[in-house]
Amino acid sequence: MEFQAIILCGPGTELAPLVSPYMTKALLPIANRPMLYYSLEWCHRAGISSAIVVSSSAAEQAISQYIKLEYNSTQKAGMKIEVVPVDGETAFIIRSLKDKIKHDFILLPCDFVTDLPPQTVVDMHRNQPVKTIGSGIWYKNTLDSIDKKTLKPNLTIHTPLGKPHPRLLDVYPRPKGSDPLTVRMSMLWEHPQATISTTVLEAFIYLFSRRVLDDDGDLSSSATLAAAAATTTTTTAAASASPTATSTSTSASTDQSSSAPTNPADLPKWKKSWTALVRDIARDSWRHRDSSSRGTVGFYVVPADYSFLRCKSVSAYFEANRLVLKQTAYTPPPSTATAKGAVIGRDSLIGIGTEMDEKTNVKRSIVGADCKFGRECRITGCVIMDGVTVGNGVHLDNCIIANGVSVEDKVRLSGCTVEGRYIVSMGTQSKNEVLRGYSAEGLLDSDSDAIESYDSDEDSDEDEDESDDDGEINESELEQSEGEGIEYDDDDFFDRG
Amino acid sequence: MGPKKGGQQAAGKRKGASSNAAGNDHDAEQDERLQAIVLSDSYQTRFRPLTLEKPRCLLSLCNTPLIEYTFEFLALAGVSEVIVVSCAHAEQIQEYIANSRWSSPSSPFTIETVLSPESMSVGDAMRDLDAKGLITSDFLLVSGDIVCNVPFDQVLAEHRQRRAKDKNAIMTMVLREASPLHRTRARAESAIFVLDEQTNQCLHYEEIKTRKHMKKISLEPEIFNKHTDLAIRNDFIDCHIDICSPDVPALFTENFDYNHIRKDFVHGILTSDLLGKTIFAHVVTDHYAARVRSLQTYDAVSKDVISRWTYPITPDSNLLADQTFQYQRGHIYKEDDVVLARSCRINSCTVIGARTVVDDGAVITGSVIGRRCKIGKNAKISGAYIWDDVTIGDNAVVDCAVIGDGAIIGESSHISPGAIISYNVKVGKGITVDGNKRLTRTEGDFGRDTDYEAVGTDGIGFVYEDESEVEEDDDYEEIVNSSGLIYNMASLNQSDASFTSSGEGTTARKARRRRISTASNNTAASEESDEESFMREAQASVERAMTEDHDIDIAALELGTLRMAKNAPFHEVRAATITALISRVSNLINSNTMKARQAVEHVLNRWAKLFRRQVFDLADQVDLLLLIQRDCTRRMQGSAILLHAINNLYDQDILEESAIMQWWYKEPQSKGDADMIKVGELVPRWLEWLTTAEEESEDDDDE
């Protein structure tokens, strides 16, 4: 059985200021390699021969260029990689790729880093019972340094992990305030042992049977019922109801051979977030009277011996670098870097073409290519991207320095994040700040504001991120499906008795 | 705060007493001895009429009294001191224990019976125990009707370990894992437990009201912040085997509205932030544990004992000294001196007691037959529980029924599945007893003659109806569902349908719940919200106060505690009080005890003081008036009750003139619908009197 990989490259707005119009998330370097490399490599190791990289139309060019010029040239065995620009919700993306998906598929984000062997996941899915229509991967965050605010675990209900073939049963957003969480009895009669996990996070790696794309299948009768209702309404109404879907489908419709009068991609099922879609499949597996014949969703949690993290915040990105650094075997720095007797710790990674002057000391850090360091610098635990110029006597401690930043003499930074092309003026001393914008003066006045606004940015941007659906199960949708559920419950039980 | 303080004092006293009595170190005491409290009474009436004459724990299960199984379990668990708390039929239990081997010097534990005749619930018994100061250390709390072979060392060790670490871990519940529809899982008393997956701390307890109608359970969001992985379990058989710390009876004393160990106590502890106590569960995956709490479970447990799931507790282990059971192939257990005719057939899974005679051609399948029974020629017995000294006539058919001691089934009679024939009933010849009939000879409160239609012209006995119990028991709908030997799914389904078609409001349902005595599943349908349970409990509390003539302060305190526990608004407190008081008034009138005015005065003169702590301002008074008016709409002579109630409350200065005026003239709800207007028909005259302040009201007649 073959898999096709679908790698979703989101915009990564939560990684600001590292991600900008000039640097798309997928290409943000982790340990001197673009994030996308790790996803592709993981698929490669899983023995997948065909991958579709989905990006926003804006980032498409940069990503195709990277794959054409760099990734493909470094790889020995060929993995067919295609870059497709689609804008929209994940479920919509998957639906619009229907004709390109020939096999069962693995859905992956571009922003994960793990030492979990891909084969374990594939084997897990292959060993699932026949009824399993797909499996998902969840992980637990083990790192304290990742900003807790950026991890928003849902309440994930699944069958106990101790039993064979755990299944996903339901997903709820964390109840707000003092609202109670309601768990349906129909689920508890079907699955008397259920576990609510409050900490598992969606890895957003899903292995699904191609069946899931069949619109006329018995995937979700509620969805098809609603679909039936939708098809009776005029197409114009449907179009106006989903302006985003239709506008984007014009770009995608060139790929679509399905020219049915009502576009199946307009089904409500495909307008949800992927998480909601998976949740509905899981729910349908116990909610209906014929639920025993319905597909189930396997539930797999990354074992505690493996690390897994997704770069969904700057702190997570930082940890990802450290994780990769730990995994990669020591490679001696390129000769240019060690010139003039600079000291580079064996726990550091230095890119090609980087130069260091006398008495510069680099420890536990990642330094990109073509950087220039002055004399007597001390770099500890930093991530420094390509083309950074560092003056003399600079001390950097646990900082992220983006591409092309210029750090002038005697700067002392600790725990700072510096946006690309920023110029850190001479003698600046900062701690735990985000340095962004092009004018240093303006920023120094509004340091604290910058941090706050950055945080709030992250929150508001979360929902727009196309591959990160965690926060998107909206209440009204839950309410609505709840209502449907009740009716089915009733029927269910009269029959069962 | 009041009750709490009192409780602490009581706890303090108790501790003092115990340390004096024991006179040694508390910890050392814990290690050495394990006390067990056996609640011999179930405080339920599901086994009636069988339990009219004998306590449930002495009913025979596979020819051995139920309580023997409990004692056997306690002996295996290493208990050193057993205290049996008995209430109904206490003298029988005392006598039984005094004559049993457990009172002999070779008994593994000391045994003591404690009478608690006033207790009406587990809560009462616990309060009684607390008052008597009998509990000195952590103890095992069981009911006298369990069958269990779970080794207890580990459970106890875990409990003690937890206690050593955290004094607030006051209780460990032993729960057996099974499938949700397991036959020993009592239909009406199963519950959903939410446990912390790592520690097994119980975080939420939700009783399953009736299987059909609970659509969802609600979990408080706080538990998600404190615990990472929560197991929601709907597959536990809860036999109410608990290890409790001495805090448990003390907590019952502090919270005098706790009656039920699970739905009041466990629920109360889990939902109370103030107490900070924790409850843990011990999940048993192998071994057997079941509680005989309904006839269905009686049936299921009997079958399990026969099929040796409960090993080593099986009939052939001869729990009683004089038993001589021997095991034969096919799960047939026979005592010595059983006389079997040559042509009779004993099929598998059957137990037959000593000196029973089975005549030619009789067929016995999967049944339990007691001692000294006579089974007539060609009788057919399958799945039946026949106790001692029963005579089954020739050609009679007994199918899945319970036949009590000394009963006689006439020739060619047919006992249908589910029937219960109590002690010494005589069923005549050729009679068919329906499956839903329960025949008895114990008259109870009503003197009754033999019902010849049911038992035949040559029979003795009459049909037992448990109507009288209905009024007393809040859970009667569940009893109806669960008391049958056969769980009649078909009829249940039918009434489900009738429920869904009738869209009654909750208030209407509640009103009916109290008054309708015929068993209807409709009421069981209420998915009980907190609000509703408060109303019910508050109402019950006021009713109890009235029937037991509590001090008014205690009644008010109890209501106050309840209100705080449930966080109910005063409006609901008033509503509950009004409902209770007016229903009392209404009962007095309907039973022709008193006339309306007299009845209102009788009740309100004493109990209206409750409102002093419920009604604070004008708006509250108007609200109170509306509640009375609304409540009176569904009473006989409602308008008279309303009138006199207003008059009385006015005289007692609970209602002010301005409030009454506002209610009558300004409040749109007071004339909201026809019923409300009708019930208020007498009010204008009274208002007239009020405004002119004349003494005419004295002459108002009562109609």
User: Over the stretch A304-315, which tens digit does the pLDDT of each residue have?
Assistant: 889 898 888 888
- DSSP per residue over B29-47, as a string? HHHH--EEEEE---S--TT
Q: Which of B211, B215, B270 to mutate to test the interface with A (most CBs of A within 10 A)?
A: B215
How many angstroms away from the CA of A220 is the closest CA of chain B?
21
Of the CA atoms within 13 Å of residue A408, those in its CB half-sphere come to 9
pLDDT at B244 over 50: yes
Residues above pLDDT 70, as percent of chain B:
82
Q: Which residue of A has its CA nearest to B492?
A: A497
Contact B232 A195 (CB under 8 A): yes
Q: Which of A151, A178, A179, A185 to mutate to test the interface with B (most CBs of B within 10 A)?
A: A185
Determine the pLDDT at residue A352. Answer: 85
> Average pLDDT, whole number, for chain A?
75
Question: A19 or B355, which is more confident?
Answer: B355
Rounded to an integer, what distance in angstroms lies between the CA atom of residue A446 and that of residue A434?
11
pLDDT band at A76; cut points 50, 70, 90: low
Q: Which residue of B has its CA nearest to A489?
A: B215
pLDDT band at B477; cut points 50, 70, 90: very low
For residue B77, the Cα-to-chain-centroid distance in whole angstroms is 27
Instruction: Enumerate the residues of chain A whose CB falls inside 8 A of the CB of residue B211.
Output: 493
Determine the pLDDT at residue B234. Answer: 87
pLDDT at B507 over 60: no
Per residue in B576-605, pLDDT (tens digit) is 888 888 888 888 887 777 788 888 888 888
pLDDT at B503 over 90: no
Instruction: Enumerate the residues of chain B whose CB falls inside 8 A of the CB of residue A178.
Output: 220-221
pLDDT band at A1; cut points 50, 70, 90: low
Determine the pLDDT at residue B450. Answer: 72
- Do residues A181 and A155 make contact, with C-beta atoms less than 8 angstroms apart? yes
pLDDT at B100 over 50: yes
For residue B352, the Cα-to-chain-centroid distance in whole angstroms is 32
Question: B190 or A193, which is more confident?
Answer: A193
Average pLDDT over every residue of B315-324: 88
Instruction: Enumerate the residues of chain A whose CB falls inside 8 A of the CB of residue B214.
Output: 185
Determine the pLDDT at residue A290. Answer: 66
Rounded to an integer, what distance in angstroms lies between the CA atom of residue A171 and that of residue A163?
19
* b/e burial code for range B247-283 (CB count within 10 A of at least 16 → b): bbbbbbbbbbbbbbbbbbbbbbbbeeeebebbbbbbb
pTM of the model: 0.67
Per residue in A182-192, pLDDT (tens digit) is 888 888 888 88
Instruction: Enumerate the residues of chain A whose CB falls inside 8 A of the CB of residue B229.
Output: 195-199
Determine the pLDDT at residue B367. Answer: 93
Determine the pLDDT at residue B558. Answer: 81
Contact B224 A182 (CB under 8 A): no
H runs (alpha helix) in A113-264? 118-126, 185-190, 221-232, 235-241, 243-253
pLDDT at B512 over 70: no
Instruction: Enumerate the residues of chain B whose CB falls inside 8 A of the CB of residue A160.
Output: 197, 231
pLDDT band at B256; cut points 50, 70, 90: confident
> Average pLDDT, whole number, for chain B?
78
Per residue in B373-400, pLDDT (tens digit) is 999 999 999 999 999 999 999 999 998 8
pLDDT band at B186; cut points 50, 70, 90: low
Determine the pLDDT at residue A187. Answer: 86
Question: B702 or A143, which is more confident?
Answer: A143
Average pLDDT over every residue of A254-267: 45
Shortest CA distance to B194 belongs to which of A172, A190, A192, A485? A192
pLDDT at A72 over 90: no
Best mean pLDDT range from B22-26, B76-80, B210-214: B76-80
- DSSP per residue over B484-543, as a string? SSS--HHHHHHHHHHHHHS---HHHHHHHHHH--S--GGGGG----HHHHHHHHHHHHHH
Question: A65 or A255, which is more confident?
Answer: A65
Which residue of B215, B228, B489 is in closest CB contact with A199? B228
Stretch (H or E) spanning A340 = none
Average pLDDT over every residue of A360-382: 89
- Which of A205-214, A422-431, B403-412 is predicted least confidently? A205-214
pLDDT at B356 over 90: yes
Q: Which of A151, A158, A183 to mutate to test the interface with B (most CBs of B within 10 A)?
A: A183
Residues above pLDDT 70, as percent of chain A:
73
Class of domain B324-460: mainly beta
Average pLDDT over every residue of B631-655: 83
How many angstroms away from the CA of A483 is the closest CA of chain B?
11
Determine the pLDDT at residue B529. Answer: 55
Q: Which CATH architecture has domain B29-295?
A: Alpha-Beta Complex (3.90)
How many angstroms away from the CA of A476 is the closest CA of chain B?
18
Domain residues of chain B, as ranges? 29-295, 324-460, 526-702
**Which amino acid is located at B226 in the chain?**
K
How many angstroms away from the CA of A159 is the closest CA of chain B?
9
- Which of A19-33, A154-168, A252-266, A330-344 is predicted least confidently? A252-266
Contact A195 B231 (CB under 8 A): yes
* b/e burial code for range B402-413 (CB count within 10 A of at least 16 → b): bbbbbbbbbbbb
- Using CA atoms, how far residue B578 sits from B559, B614, B629, in Å, is 13, 11, 10
Per residue in A133-176, pLDDT (tens digit) is 889 999 988 887 877 777 778 889 999 888 888 999 999 888 87
Q: Which residue of B has its CA nearest to A175?
A: B221
* Radius of gyration for the alpha carbons in chain B, expressed in angstroms and rounded: 28
Instruction: Enumerate the residues of chain B whose CB falls inside 8 A of the CB of residue A197.
Output: 228-230
Of the CA atoms within 13 Å of residue A157, those in its CB half-sphere come to 25
pLDDT at A494 over 70: no
Note whether A198 contacts B: Cβ–Cβ < 8 A.
Answer: yes
- Using CA atoms, how far residue A4 sits from A122, A134, B191, in Å, is 12, 14, 46
Q: Which residue of A has its CA nearest to B224?
A: A198
pLDDT at A221 over 80: no
Determine the pLDDT at residue A446. Answer: 40
**Which amino acid is located at A218 in the chain?**
D
ipTM value:
0.72
Q: Which of residues 460-479 of A touch B (CB under 8 A)?
A: none
Contact A180 B234 (CB under 8 A): no
Sequence-distant (6+) residues with CB within 8 A of B391 are: B373, B374, B376, B407, B408, B409
Determine the pLDDT at residue A77. Answer: 62
Determine the pLDDT at residue A334. Answer: 65
Question: B467 or A420, which is more confident?
Answer: A420
pLDDT band at B498; cut points 50, 70, 90: very low
Q: Which of residues 133-192 of A touch B (CB under 8 A)?
A: 155, 157, 160, 174-175, 177-186, 188-189, 192
The token pair at B672 is 């909201």
Instruction: Enumerate the residues of chain B whose CB falls inside 8 A of the CB of residue A190.
Output: none
- Using CA atoms, how far residue B278 sits from A345, B37, B241, B612, B621, in Å, is 52, 21, 17, 36, 41
Determine the pLDDT at residue B41. Answer: 79
Instruction: Collect all residues from B whose CB is shorter than 8 A from any CB in A.
Output: 179-180, 192, 194, 197, 208, 211-212, 214-221, 224-225, 227-235, 489, 492-493, 496-497, 500
Question: A438 or B368, which is more confident?
Answer: B368
Rounded to an integer, what distance in angstroms lies between the CA atom of residue A204 and that of residue A310?
9
Determine the pLDDT at residue B641. Answer: 84
Rounded to an integer, what distance in angstroms lies between the CA atom of residue B186 and that of residue A140?
39
Contact A188 B500 (CB under 8 A): no
- Which of A355-369, B170-184, B486-500 is predicted least confidently? B486-500
Which residue of A179, A192, A486 is in closest CB contact with B179? A192
Determine the pLDDT at residue A267. Answer: 65
How many angstroms away from the CA of A168 is the closest CA of chain B?
14
pLDDT at A229 over 50: no
Q: Which of A187, A193, A486 to mutate to test the interface with B (most CBs of B within 10 A)?
A: A193
- What is the DSSP secondary structure assignment for residue B146, as one 8-state letter? E
Q: What are phi and psi of B660, to 5 degrees?
A: -65, -40
Determine the pLDDT at residue B195. Answer: 92
Determine the pLDDT at residue B443. Answer: 65
Per residue in B517-573, pLDDT (tens digit) is 333 333 333 344 556 677 888 888 888 888 777 778 778 878 877 777 777 788 888
Q: Which of B209, B224, B238 to mutate to test the interface with A (most CBs of A within 10 A)?
A: B224
Helix/strand/coil for B351:
strand
Whether the ω angle into residue B312 lies within 30 degrees of 0, i.e. cis, is yes
The answer to whether domain B526-702 has CATH 1.10.510.10 is no
Instruction: Enumerate the residues of chain A whose CB falls inside 8 A of the CB of residue B179.
Output: 192
pLDDT at B506 over 60: no
**Which amino acid is located at A177 in the chain?**
G
How many angstroms away from the CA of A118 is the closest CA of chain B?
26
pLDDT at B473 over 70: no
Q: Which residue of B has its CA nearest to A195?
A: B231
How many angstroms away from the CA of B697 is the closest CA of chain A?
52
The token pair at A443 is 């920023």
pLDDT at B349 over 80: yes
pLDDT at B626 over 70: yes
Question: B462 or B142, which is more confident?
Answer: B142
Determine the pLDDT at residue B32. Answer: 63
